[in-house]
Structure 1
Amino acid sequence: MTRAPENRQARKAARTALICVGVAFGMLGASFAAVPLYDLFCKVTGFGGTPQVGTAATGKVLDRTISVRFDANVAPGLGWKFQPESPEIKAQVGVTQTVFYKMTNRSDRTVTGIATYNVTPEQSAAYFVKIQCFCFTEHTLKPGESFEAPVVFYIDPEIAGNRELDGIKAITLSYTYFASKAGQPVAEGQAGNAKGDAKNPKL
């Protein structure tokens, strides 16, 4: 007489266990998806000072200029000199611009570096469109070796539709070069390992 209630309780317990397992796997999957989804969100919205990526200017040009400042930084331990050809230009909104950066390895070893970037003020990043950039691409320089790389960009005329940016006079594009390991920037505390790998590629 008591078997039916016991069976129902057993089925209920099994169903609850399956739901818990499903939730756990769902949370695990969400954690793996969070990073690429966040990266995509930043690229689409300009959140966190992430510039937009485009293929060509829209053809629309405004009678408005904004100063674009170029900042170059090198993480400790890399041993590179890194600078833009010009610290600042006047950019007409909608017109494609090209600026070169120069990198020189001033250390006595072969080093691989990779650059990250951001745009300030952050609200302007949604309208700063890069067509070509050297960021997130590894570059390896021998001692004393140099190379130049272009940054091609334009300021989207759609910026005129954002009243909060009506008074903006300048935008800063900031790059930081880090030692690179397996295609990823290496923090200062790990720079020693990156140096060792540069000397011993098989490690």
Structure 2
Amino acid sequence: MQQLREPFKEGNRNILYYTISIILGTVALSYGSVPMYKMICQTTGWGGQPIKSSGHASLTSDPSVRLTPVETSRRLRITFNGSVSDVLPWKFTPQQREVRVLPGETALAFYTATNQSPTDDIIGVATYSVTPGQVAPYFSKIQCFCFEEQRLNKGETVDMPVFFYIDPEFLRDPNMKGIDTITLSYTFFKARYDKNGHLKV
């Protein structure tokens, strides 16, 4: 009887280890550091971060050329989303539902954040994403509030600008054919710090 139970004990032990590994991996990904997230985005273009890699020279050419609106192009519809994590008592919303831009044309959008805590000043940090994901390398932000600490006093409301453009190279990419709507989404998290005082989410 004891010999029959041994394989079941071993199987249960393996399932336990597997479950713990999944839980730890999920927690690590959910609370990964902002600097690591930013570095990955800058290297790959994932999440809409402008690519910094030297392998993407066509996307990092003379800015004056890239900032010339392509008048012959269709206008692209840019929509906006805003959310906050469950533990952050802020209200965070875009001030506009959408804007329509030509590739190469700069646009300015605003989000509004309010610290709804009646007692605490709170520091938040935003991450963002661009959908559809394949548009990310072409969505270039000249100025934005992502990855930077934003301190709001109790009850304070602030406007946060996003100054951006769609790189004209978007029009040359066959994978962009049929894409007319792009969504920019921001999520704010409560800033946390490790024992060395480095920012993490």
TM-score bracket for the superposition, by shorter chain length: 0.5 to 0.7
Deviations 1:128-185 (A, max 9, x none): 0000000111111121101111100000000111111110011111100000023635
1:42 Cα deviation (Å)?
3.2
Alignment partner for residue 171 of structure 2, among 138, 155, 160? 160
CA contact (8 A) 1:49 1:121 kept: no
Q: Secondary structure at the match of 1:124?
A: helix
CA distance in 2 between partners of 1:38 and 1:113 (Å): 16
Q: How does 1:1-203 map to 2 (within 5 A)?
A: 40=39, 42-46=41-45, 48-52=46-50, 56=63, 58-62=66-70, 63-108=73-118, 109-182=120-193, 184-186=199-201
In structure 2, the gaps of 5 or more residues are 1-33, 52-59
Matching residue's letter, 2:83: N
Q: Secondary structure at the match of 1:134?
A: coil
CA contact (8 A) 1:67 1:89 kept: yes
In structure 1, the gaps of 5 or more residues are 1-34, 187-203
Q: Secondary structure at the match of 2:135?
A: helix
Q: Give the percent of matched residue pairs that are identical in Structure 1 and Structure 2.
A: 42
Higher Cα Rg, which structure? 1
Detail structure 1 runs of 4+ shifted over 4 Å in the superposition. 35-41, 53-57
Structure 1 window deviating more from structure 2 (60-69 vs 125-134): it is: 60-69
CA distance in 2 between partners of 1:178 and 1:36 (Å): 14
How does the TM-score come out when normalised to structure 1?
Answer: 0.67
Q: Secondary structure at the match of 2:87?
A: coil
Matching residue's letter, 1:142: N
CA contact (8 A) 2:48 2:138 kept: no
1:51 Cα deviation (Å)?
2.6
Q: Secondary structure at the match of 2:76?
A: strand
CA contact (8 A) 1:61 1:92 kept: yes
Q: Secondary structure at the match of 2:175?
A: helix
Matched positions, count? 151
- Relative to 1, partners in 2 of residues 1:116 and 1:185: Cα closer, same or farther, differing over 3 Å? farther
CA distance in 2 between partners of 1:169 and 1:185 (Å): 35
Matching residue's letter, 2:182: I
Structure 1 window deviating more from structure 2 (176-185 vs 162-171): it is: 176-185
CA distance in 2 between partners of 1:36 and 1:72 (Å): 21
CA contact (8 A) 1:132 1:150 kept: yes
Q: Secondary structure at the match of 2:191?
A: strand
Q: Secondary structure at the match of 1:99?
A: strand
Deviations 1:2-34 (A, max 9, x none): xxxxxxxxxxxxxxxxxxxxxxxxxxxxxxxxx
